[in-house]
Amino acid sequence: MTDEPHSTLTLIARRSPYGESGARETLDIAFAAAVFDRQVRYLFIGDGVWQLKKDSDSSSALEALGKKPMGSALETLELYGIDRVYALRTSIDERGLSPAELIDCVEIIDEPAVRELLAGPGPIVNL
């Protein structure tokens, strides 16, 4: 895969994984794009960083409500060739999360790196 404009898609995930389907829909877009050989850059900002939290004991409580935790699904991104997963450092810090609490495939970046990422090739989907 290349970084040509027609083959690269940047997804910005801003939504919490709890209480709505937007986070799951964004993940579905990532998987679909990867299946069609699109290079996917997946950026988590704001409440979207909650999606990156490793599954914990609360996952059984979520499943009882019919909601599946996002962490285990996001850990499969690399199986789809999605290895460009980023989280905004200030969003993580503002929510009191530590890097150790996040899934392993995430690269934590600062705002200048986000601007550079967004200036890259291809469309941006902001959800």
Q: What is the pLDDT of residues 49-94, one digit of tens each?
A: 999 998 754 444 444 445 555 777 888 899 999 999 999 999 999 9
Euclidean distance between CA atoms 119 and 36, whole angstroms = 23
> So what's the pLDDT on residue 35?
92
Range of the domain at 56: 5-126
> So what's the pLDDT on residue 5?
52
Q: Which residues pair with 124 in a beta bridge?
A: 10
* pLDDT tier for residue 95 given thresholds of 50, 70 and 90: very high
Cβ 125 vs Cβ 15: under 8 Å:
no
Q: What is the DSSP letter of 121?
A: S
Strand arrangement, sheet containing 84-88: 106-109, 84-88, 39-44, 8-13, 124-126
* pLDDT tier for residue 7 given thresholds of 50, 70 and 90: confident
CATH of the domain at 56: 3.40.1260.10
Domain count, the chain: 1
Euclidean distance between CA atoms 76 and 72, whole angstroms = 7
Write down the number of H helices and E strands in the chain: 5, 5
Q: Which residues pair with 9 in a beta bridge?
A: 40
Lowest mean pLDDT among 17-21, 105-109, 123-127: 17-21
Residue 38 has pLDDT above 70, yes or no: yes
